[in-house]
Structure 1
């Protein structure tokens, strides 16, 4: 059964597609959480496009570990035209449309509470930077992938959020505001695209141990957060990646517009 036939058979049955038959685009997929997500999909048998901006070596090394199954492609997610070219290149390379999009890329941000701007220091430039990277970029990626998902009659969009707008243990104002807006778009896009067999969900982590973005976080902050969770530990990138795979898998075919918090039970609901 070729890829096109597999897509037609699966989507006509119940609007679900096994992970091994999906072509997945992970933005910012070469390092940290993105690498964990890319790796989880690859181990599940999916074909994966590992998007990167400047992390050429990390992206190529990950792709080389899964020859014929992974493709590393450069694009700045803030550039809508670059995203369209990225999706077109992926489609041409694999001979099938992107069916699954993970909006993971985090642009120019570090989780360092000591260095964050306080309420009286927060600037329009900081807010604009985060809204560009965490709201406009995901919208651009979704719009680039939509024609292929419609062609396939199937789509899964998973946005990466945060638990900080429920529990701002460190008030990163710009980052948190942008991710809250992305949750709103997750729910409105779910309503808009649901009739076309495209599910849109969000996975929200807490502080992850450890990614490039959380490398600047002091050890005592990790310990404090761990002590407040029922699991008494900080969530790993691999654990959050597992939840992303759930939303892409047939197990979640009846789920859309949802926000799943993966933080060891720190935030309830």
Structure 2
């Protein structure tokens, strides 16, 4: 399906990588659902920038009923169902190497919070979208990972573990859903410059990444967003169960 015929949901779509992903899909002519939880003003501003091809809808990705309602609202608004889901939302996390919890202080609740953000959120969006995807014989699920579970330069225990689990989720769903014309892939950026989540990262850390990356630069959100669009495009129609690392070559898998 061409991008211009798709209805794309971007969870956590009001800021950072989510905002750039919304803009990238809109640039290609897709209709976009901007999901937000707390950032209503940013979501509405982004909707106004894009115009009729966008709608901002509030939903907590950890709440199954709210996700189901969002899918229904989007279908009513655009007159056709969501075809493409980008599971991007990040709940209650900042990349702060100074204040992060170490192995002796991190709790199971910390892990559980990030697992609910990554796995529960992705599960609910897949389940909400699957009936329509099966009916039309088409769907695209793109989960947002991280290069940290391959190269944990900073030990963000809860976040990194949840994203590693999300890769397992991605490949299991790819295996099962391919028969219905649904592909499931992951895009894993490195530390991005600059998002709200990475705002606490020091200049020294950014400099270290820049100097050790083949492209000699820190990846920005718009570059990752273009890779996300690729997985929804016709050019990726035979690709599923894959994890594409977009970090300037810092991690070579």
1:3-32 Cα deviation digits (max 9, x unpaired): xxxxxxxxxxxxxx0100000000000101
Matched residue, 1:264: 248
Matched residue, 1:223: 207
Give, in whole Å, the separation in 2 of the partners of 1:36 and 1:235: 13
Return the offset for 1:201.
0.1
SS at match of 2:248: coil
Match of 1:122 among 82, 98, 106: 106
Match of 2:127 among 129, 134, 143: 143
1:193-213 Cα deviation digits (max 9, x unpaired): 001000000000100000010
Equivalent residues in 2 for 1:94-109 (5 A)? 94-109=78-93
Answering whether residue 10 of structure 2 is matched by residue 31 of structure 1, we say no
Give, in whole Å, the separation in 2 of the partners of 1:174 and 1:193: 28
Matched residue, 1:203: 187
Give, in whole Å, the separation in 1 of the partners of 2:217 and 2:45: 30
Return the offset for 1:151.
2.1
Computed over aligned residues only, the root mean square deviation of the Cα atoms, in angstroms, reads 0.6
- Return structure 1 stretches of 4+ with deviation > 4 angstroms: none
Q: TM-score, normalised by structure 1?
A: 0.93
Q: Count matched residues.
A: 253
Equivalent residues in 2 for 1:1-269 (5 A)? 17-269=1-253
Q: TM-score, normalised by structure 2?
A: 0.99
1:29–1:51 CA contact under 8 A, matched in 2? yes
